[in-house]
Amino acid sequence: MSDDVDLEELKQRTQVGNRNQESAKQTEKKSFREDILEALSAIENGDRQKTVSFWDGDTAALVSALENNPDVQQDVGTRLQEELGRDVDEAAIDRSEVLRLAMRAGLQRAAPDIVEIWLDAKADSVRRL
């Protein structure tokens, strides 16, 4: 009998903890979404750059090789467009497009919940214009 009571008490604590954790996650996601909206607004107003950069020699070598082999770059870009469910637009494929698509594909695969928040914030930002 006491095992049942202890088990029930543990179950209730866990359920309360889960609700608290879920509430904290929702607050965190809301804050993250608001940060995205603020950044989008700053970019739109010219207060923040649209460029992104990172330091990675291996990736720089890959990007350089892609640029030196346009047919391979075109193939990679086309595959990335398809991976993201986009219409293939070969004319749009260049260095920047391949990098944008690769980042988005990676985020979509690794953190789809973050991509969902980001896309929702982007849509909200457009509606505000």
Q: What is the pLDDT of residues 73-115, one digit of tens each?
A: 999 999 999 999 999 999 999 999 999 999 999 999 999 999 9
Residue 4 pLDDT? 57
Q: Could you tell me the residue ranges of all domains in the chain?
A: 1-49, 52-129
The secondary structure of 19-81 as a DSSP string is HHHHHHHHHHHHHHHHHHHHHHHHHHTTSS-S------HHHHHHHHHHHH-HHHHHHHHHHHH
The rounded distance, in Å, linking the Cα atoms of 49 and 109 is 26
Q: How many Cα atoms sit within 13 Å of 97 on the Cβ side?
A: 20
Answer with the residue of higher pLDDT: 61 or 127.
61
Residue 127 pLDDT? 87
pLDDT band at 64 (very low <50, low <70, confident <90, very high): very high
The rounded distance, in Å, linking the Cα atoms of 35 and 90 is 33
14-59 confidence digits (pLDDT tens): 665 566 666 666 677 779 999 999 999 999 999 999 999 999 999 9
pTM score, whole prediction: 0.74
